[in-house]
Amino acid sequence: MSLPPPANAPAAPKPLVKNEAIKAESNFLRGHILRDLADPTTGTITEDSSLLTKFHGIYPQDDRDLRNQRRKENKEKAFSFMARIRVPGGVCTPAQWLALDALADSHANGTLKITTRQAFQFHGILKGNLRPAIKAVNAQLLDTLAACGDVNRNVMANPNPEQSALHAETLRLAKAISDHLSPRTRAYHEIWVADELVAGGEPDHEPLYGPTYLPRKFKTVIAIPPSNDVDIYAHDLGFIAIADDSGKKLLGFNVTVGGGLGMSHNQIDTYPRLADILGFCTVDQVVDVAEKVMLVQRDYGDRTERKHARLKYTIADRGIVWFRTEVEKRLGYFLGSPRRFEFTSTGDRYGWVEGENGHAHYTLFIMSGRVKDALKAALREIATAHTGDFRLTANQNLMIAGVTPAQRPVIEALLKKHQLDGANNASGLALNAMSCVALPTCGLALAESERYLPELVKNLETEIEAAGLRDDAITLRITGCPNGCGRPYLSEIGFVGRAPGKYNVYLGAAFNGSRCNTLYKPSVLVADIVPLLGPIIHRYALERTKGESFGDFTIRAGYVKHTGTPADFHEAKAEKPAVVATPATA
Ligand code: SRM
Ligand code: SF4
């Protein structure tokens, strides 16, 4: 029997999490992926390989609707794969759209999913179709590398239709950051793109990441005020474009760090956190700043506890002043003082918008970003005729962008033909609603989300319309678990899955995404949602002050109190409240 350590002995260092050893031993993300893909006895891959395929943008999943039936039949789960396609800045060509549309039919479940981070997802790819599907994606000059995993993910940028010059510049920067922070391993090419399966070659070198990559996922975005459609405060790293007085010339960016939304129910040490503003950088410093912010997190992020490994906790624990000093030490120069800016909303601007360059852009509402059936066929026809580009929005919608005056009647006629004109005749609530995927594919879902959103919106619309608020924009977001994929903590009405048919209801976020909401009622049954929210909606219609948003009203009327501590998100009370940053609009 060993003696207990003396009372004053220093605490033994915590062991690293399993993921760290798997990364280190994987020979730069190869591991046993090829072996597992070649195994004909199962439709999935091993758990260790699945930790590595994430870095390649690929998740093994199973159809949760079929779990019971398969168990009864004594069969293995109905396995398939999800693949996430990285689209920096969310811009793709009509040719790429058409290729992905066809691949969805030939290799996946026939749908295309536009994500909350301007990427595409295929669901339901069977193991045997996986390599050909990823290879075909690469043939379109797109890829799935680093769409998931402990690396810098898809870099988002505001699809900004009005200011063409600013959009072009920020898109260029989004691609530059994405390229610079992309993993350098050749494993991706060997496994998915090479003509023949080849065993792991020479050891690779990852100049930025090293063999263990980052402690956790890392997300980068660029916003162009006044639109905060990318929800900049939700991400690890953000750049807020600052233009000159004409609004046409980019001066530089306010840098934001330490945002993140994921939490676990009743684990008070986990919480959504809004990003802090770190300072200002010039346009030519952007890539350097992105690299150095990421490197500080690489070196100091917690590799002993994955639930505490995001940059938000590194900054919450060590302080923003420490973080800025570390970043500036690596940069070799100081960041400037943040410049003034203002965000007005997180939503998309639907319908036609004229750009500065004479081109027009049409934003189309797509519920939950799911492109299927008649909508998929309509967009195929539009893509065939379209000569501009497509821009995926951070709200899971689609912009048909860069339409020339000569082309506009053609696109207008197609939109009319498929009844996609007039912002789909949807209510302000529907147009500002978002859900995550959840069931049946997401292995972490506790409740429905995408499949329940249409019914939820319809039920609440009855109250909204009776209160005369049909065209009022109110943000509503729902997720099937507290991980936050639909950014529910930044919506004026947020639903977070607790169990089948039960949601925590959150109220009080700012319409422009600068304040998180607060838990209003835990574990609300689906049948109780309208009775709970209907009276608040009617009171808002009667008592709101001029221009007052729904989120602001729910705080003023006392439904929720905004205090900004982790306890605001949980049913359990915080023992040690820690401050959640609320960004100042400088
Ligand atoms: Fe997410 C995990 C879907 C945006 C926080 N997310 C997952 C997985 C991969 C489930 C899993 O790990 O097995 C989901 C796949 C479901 C499926 O069947 O497709 C999933 N996340 C999504 C997407 C597709 C939701 C959507 O409907 O659009 C979004 C894909 C974005 C992309 O293209 O990269 C998506 N996820 C987000 C966001 C929103 C954002 O980034 O703007 C968040 C909150 C912000 C943040 O990161 O803090 C988010 N996803 C998570 C988390 C919690 C992370 C954390 O720090 O705690 C997980 C679980 C995890 O990583 O352990 C997760
Ligand atoms: Fe799955 Fe939860 Fe993300 Fe929804 S929020 S997609 S349920 S992990």
* 52-64 pLDDT tens trace: 999 999 999 999 9
DSSP 459-515: HHHHHHHHTT-TT----EEEESSTT-TT-GGGSSEEEEEEETTEEEEEE---TTSSS
444 lines ligand 2 (CB under 6 A): yes
Q: How many angstroms is it from 484 CA to the middle of ligand 1? A: 7
Distance CA 444, CA 211 (A): 28
Residue 1: the pLDDT is 44
Q: How is residue 248 written in tokens?
A: 């046409």
Half-sphere exposure of 276 (CA within 13 A, CB side): 19
- Sign, Cα dihedral of 326, 332, 338, 341: negative
Q: Is the CB of 480 under 6 A from ligand 2?
A: yes
Share of the chain above pLDDT 70, in %: 94
pLDDT number for residue 581: 46
Residue nearest to atom 8 of ligand 1 (CA): 442
The domain over range 351-425 is classified in CATH as 3.90.480.10: yes
Residue 586 banded pLDDT, cuts 50, 70, 90: very low
Is residue 481 within 6 Å of ligand 2 at its C-beta?
A: yes
CA distance 495 to 474: 14
Q: What are the boundaries of each domain within the chain?
A: 154-194+211-347, 351-425, 429-568
Count of beta carbons in the 10 Å neighbourhood of residue 376: 16
Residue 73 to residues 42, 68, 78, 225, Cα–Cα distance (Å): 16, 9, 12, 55
Cα 259 to the chain's mean position, in Å?
12
| Burial of residue 291 (number of CB atoms within 10 Å: 0-12, 13-18, 19+) | middle
pLDDT digit string, tens, across residues 559-577: 999 887 888 899 875 344 4
> Using CA atoms, how far apart are residues 455 and 461, in angstroms rounded to an integer?
10
Assess whether the region 154-194+211-347 and the region 429-568 belong to the same CATH fold: yes
Is 583's pLDDT higher than 60?
Answer: no
Lowest-confidence region among 285-289, 424-428, 551-555: 424-428
Give residue 280's pLDDT.
98
What is the reported pLDDT for 571? 85
Which CATH architecture describes the domain 154-194+211-347?
A: 2-Layer Sandwich (3.30)
Which residue has the least CA distance to atom 18 on ligand 1? 442
Cα of 449 to ligand 2 centre, how many Å?
8
Contacts (Cβ under 8 Å, ≥6 apart) of 362: 351, 352, 353, 399, 400, 401, 403, 411, 415
Q: What is the amino acid identity at position 356?
A: E
* Secondary structure of 332-350 as H, E, C letters: CCCCECCCCCCCCECCCCC
What is the pLDDT, as a whole number, of residue 71? Answer: 97
Which residue owns the Cα nearest ligand 2 atom 3? 485
- Asked whether the predicted pLDDT for residue 191 surpasses 60, the reply is yes
| Residues taking part in catalysis | 84, 153, 217, 219, 436, 442, 481, 485
| Per-residue pLDDT, 175 | 97
Measured between alpha carbons, how far is 101 from 111 in angstroms, rounded to an integer? Answer: 8
For the chain, give the percent of residues with pLDDT over 90: 88
Q: Whose CA is nearest to atom 49 of ligand 1?
A: 485
Q: Which atom of ligand 1 is nearest to the CA of 260?
A: 48
- Residue 437 beta carbon below 6 angstroms from any ligand 2 atom: yes
Lowest-confidence region among 171-180, 389-398, 435-444, 561-570: 561-570
**485 CB less than 6 Å from ligand 2?**
yes
- From the CB of residue 404, how many other CB atoms can be counted at a distance below 10 Å? 14
Ligand 1, CB within 6 Å, residue ranges: 59, 61, 82, 84, 115-117, 119, 121, 153-154, 219, 231, 234, 260-262, 310, 369, 396, 436-437, 441-444, 483-487
The matching CATH number, chosen from 3.10.20.30, 3.30.413.10, 3.40.50.720, 1.10.10.10, for 429-568 is: 3.30.413.10
Average pLDDT, the chain: 94
579 pLDDT higher than 70? no
Question: What is the pairing mode between strands 120-125 and 79-85?
Answer: antiparallel
pLDDT average, residue stretch 218-232: 97
Provide the pLDDT for residue 55: 98
- Cα–Cα distance list, 31 to 17, 188, 191 (Å): 17, 11, 11
Question: Rounded to an integer, what distance in angstroms lies between the CA atom of residue 127 and that of residue 49?
Answer: 13
Are 62 and 77 within 8 A, CB to CB? yes
pLDDT at 163: 84
Inter-residue contact 272 to 489 (CB < 8 Å): yes
More confident call, 401 vs 11: 401
> pTM (2 decimals)?
0.95
Could you report the per-residue pLDDT of 101-150, keeping only the tens digit for each?
A: 999 999 999 999 999 999 999 999 999 999 999 999 999 999 999 999 99
Q: What is the pLDDT of residues 316-351, one digit of tens each?
A: 999 999 999 999 999 999 999 999 999 999 999 999
Report the run of H or E that residue 127 belongs to, with start and end: helix 127-139
Ligand 1 center to 93 CA (angstroms): 25
256-270, 422-436, 539-553: range with lowest mean pLDDT: 422-436
- When pLDDT is cut at 50, 70 and 90, the band that residue 3 belongs to is low
Encoded tokens for 81: 């794969």
